[in-house]
Amino acid sequence: MGQMRIPADVTLDHYTAVKTLLNHVLQDLEATVGRGPKWVTCRLNQSGTENTNHAYFLGWLENKSLNQIRVAKKQSDPGLLRFMGPSVGDTYKRTLDAPTRVLKQDWTKKRTPSGLQLYLANGSFKVSSGNEKYRLSIAIKVDNRYVGTLNTGLNRDPGNALNGKLIKWAQNPTSELTQYLKNEFNLGGPLG
């Protein structure tokens, strides 16, 4: 197990490394469902606790389509703005409560009038309703612990086409993502 504590020891070098890994995840997902607007994120639990009330935003990567939309609106990279910010909510808790199941959220049925808020305060990045209609989340498992979540937002319903890929990236002990997290961080989260 790595030594870096979450959030105390996490640096921008970690953000860059995770962004590279998320790019590999994104490429794998796009090979199945195409290049429509989408993003992937990673959240990790605080080191030294099994409590899921202490999660932190580690990485965000948008694909080229969504990047062009954000840049045209002159909005900052939400990953940098949210880096190591607290990230606890219903999605995180529900995902860790059923850690071997891909949680699918359909935003076409339940949506705020102003669109999904990816982070709040001045400068919040809004993903307009046409660019995130569905979100998939899976618990990340390292050794015998569920340490965070891997998430993706998509502009169309992928059905179950991405479930196997998300499970592979988040729970296979040999995936690039789980190996990096294991080697780099002192991971917290519920035992499983």
CATH of the domain at 167: 3.30.450.40
Which pLDDT tens digit goes with each residue over 56-107? Answer: 999 989 888 888 877 887 877 878 778 888 887 889 999 999 999 999 998 7
What was the pLDDT predicted at 128?
Answer: 57
Our CA angle for 176, 179, 185, nearest 5°, is 125
Kindly state whether residue 51 falls inside one of the protein's structural domains: yes
Q: Say whether 90 sits in a helix, a strand or coil.
A: helix
Domains: count for the chain: 1
Kindly state whether residue 83 falls inside one of the protein's structural domains: yes
Kindly state whether residue 23 falls inside one of the protein's structural domains: yes
Q: Rounded to whole angstroms, how far apart are CA atoms 149 and 123?
A: 25
Kindly state whether residue 175 falls inside one of the protein's structural domains: yes
Kindly state whether residue 192 falls inside one of the protein's structural domains: no
Kindly state whether residue 122 falls inside one of the protein's structural domains: yes
Which of 150, 169, 166 has its CA nearest to residue 158? 166
In contact, 61 and 79? CB cutoff 8 Å: yes
How does 37-46 read in b/e, with b if 16+ C-beta sit within 10 Å?
bbbbbbbbbb
Which domain covers residue 20, as residue numbers? 4-186
Contacts of 130 (CB under 8 A, 6+ apart): 155
Q: Is the peptide bond before 86 cis (omega within 30 degrees of 0)?
A: no
Kindly state whether residue 191 falls inside one of the protein's structural domains: no
Q: Residues in the chain with pLDDT < 50? A: 112-124
Residue at token pair 């991405």: 162
DSSP state of 120: -
CB atoms within 10 A of CB 86: 14
Kindly state whether residue 125 falls inside one of the protein's structural domains: yes
pTM of the entire structure?
A: 0.89
In contact, 52 and 92? CB cutoff 8 Å: yes
